[in-house]
Amino acid sequence: MDNAPHITQERSAPPATIVIFGASGDLTRRKLLPAVESLARHGRLPREFALVGVARTAMDDDTFGSSSLGGRNLADKPQLAGGIRYVSGGYDSPETYKQLAEVLDGLDETRGTAGNRIFYLSTPAEAFEPVINGLAAAGLNHAREGSFARLVIEKPYGKNLATARELDEVVHAAFDERQVFRIDHYLGKDTVQNVIALRFANSIFQPIWDRSWVDHVQITVAETLGVGTRGGFYESAGAMRDIVQNHVLQVLALSLMEPPASFDAEGLRNEKAKLLQAIRLPTDRDIADLAVRGQYTRGGTRDDLMAGYRDEPGVDPLSRTETYAAMRLNVDNWRWAGVPFYVRTGKRLPSRVTEVALQFQRPPHLPIPTNQLTELEADALILRIQPNEGISLRFGAKVPGHTFRVRTASMDFSYDKTFTEESPEAYERLLLDAMLGDPTLFIRSDEVEQCWRIVDPIIEHWTNDPSPIPTYEAASWGPTDADRLIGRSGRRWRNGA
């Protein structure tokens, strides 16, 4: 295997068919099909390519082709023209998989897809098991000699550690782990991958990336939107399952892991798994001190008054589901022992921002008089994942003038201003990786288990806690308990600016 397949500049997929289960769903329409079209537009798909949609909704090939690609003219995209099929049927019906097998065999003959198949599960989680069992019963989980069959699974991967292990048993009864690609679209973002580039392609940062220099780290995933029409789903998920268990912990692992020996898939994923294993597991007696939840209420301005969570469609009027979660984590290893890591995520916050901020320790002695330090903050390195993607280095600088005054300044790197290359969408990158068989940016089974081991005790504690859930007004930065969480050590949250 190429030691660095995921950083090769020019890559094109081999002959293959992508089969999307849940083809009539929202994720397929908004993300997956535009990703396929973009891959075709940029010449990443071969002519020997086909796309098959599977769903309960009745539809024919032409309707799926025109609706899925927005009615666009496919004449200039030979990778797609004539290669789109649709299979209508129940996920638990053997007839569905019999028909699918016939369609796939036909495409091998007419499109030259060589028996290579990607089965993408874009269905609700309860359909994962019947789809996997249906594929196995039809023999579609095994590829013929020289071909491949791969399974791509969307989150949520279980609702807790026990159900994640149960799902793994179902998956591994039909597919080998090397065939399984658990997707977290955050890992497909160029700016998340830039965390790796920043750390391991620059010698200047490596000596200060540890407990000797870093005072604390903050990871923020803030959204301005509420749950919208996803109230029914969100009631069974909450912020901890929806964002922290996957996105936040994956970004944390990439930011804090040890340098891998090589940039192949297993080298990178081994180090992520080691970092997750080193996170100190919360116990029931200390959860109140290290984890905070909240739920947004009506808020905003007179001209833009936003509904509270309990007023959203599909939400229980007495709901105790958290729309905000914050934690303090400790990593028990040589590099990070004693450094607190603060993570938070929430809906209906004032700004949309995802970032990793390393705040450095202050100088041991400042010879400058206090009255000459104007608004001087601690040095910090901020990795902006979205929006305004880039990196900021915050430091102290002299203010121009006749007096010697020092205040905070920053140097900024912006993706948009520095590079002319177009950044691919996350799903575009990950679909191509799955077709190439590169699992680097996908999540291994042991990583999933470690993430659940971290959040499960907190979710269980909150579930059994009879006290009212703390609230925060929409368009505020969360419950006051979150400020106390970080404030106990004399620190404060960044405002996301």
Give catalytic residues, as residue numbers.
247
The b/e string for 232-243 (b: 16+ C-beta within 10 A; e otherwise) is: eebbebbbbbbb
End-to-end CA, the chain:
42
CA 86 vs. chain centroid, Å, equals 29
Give the helix ranges, DSSP H, for 244-286.
249-256, 265-278
Question: Which of 120, 136, 112, 125 has the alpha carbon at shortest distance from 45?
Answer: 112
Beta strands in 280-352 (DSSP E): 291-297, 299-300, 305-306, 324-330, 340-346
**What secondary structure letter does DSSP report for 496?**
-
Contact indicator for 437, 150 with CB cutoff of 8 Å: yes
Question: Which of 161, 225, 142 has the alpha carbon at shortest distance from 474?
Answer: 225
Question: Which of 324, 387, 313 has the alpha carbon at shortest distance from 352?
Answer: 387
Burial of 413 (0-12, 13-18, 19+ CB in 10 A): middle
Q: Is the peptide bond before 156 cis (omega within 30 degrees of 0)?
A: yes
Q: How far apart are CA 19 and CA 108, in angstroms?
A: 13
What does each C-alpha distance from 345 to 151, 246, 467 come to in angstroms? 30, 12, 21
Contact indicator for 123, 21 with CB cutoff of 8 Å: yes
3-state secondary structure 90-111: CCCCHHHHHHHHHHHHHHHHHH
Q: How far apart are CA 76 and CA 41, in angstroms?
A: 9
Q: Phi and psi of 193, rounded to 5°?
A: -65, -25
Contact indicator for 80, 69 with CB cutoff of 8 Å: yes
Angle of helix 161-174 relative to helix 445-464, nearest 10 degrees, comes to 150
Count of beta carbons in the 10 Å neighbourhood of residue 326:
27
Q: Is the peptide bond before 387 cis (omega within 30 degrees of 0)?
A: yes
Q: How far apart are CA 236 and CA 77, in angstroms?
A: 41
Which two structure tokens, joined as six digits, stand for 372? 């000459």
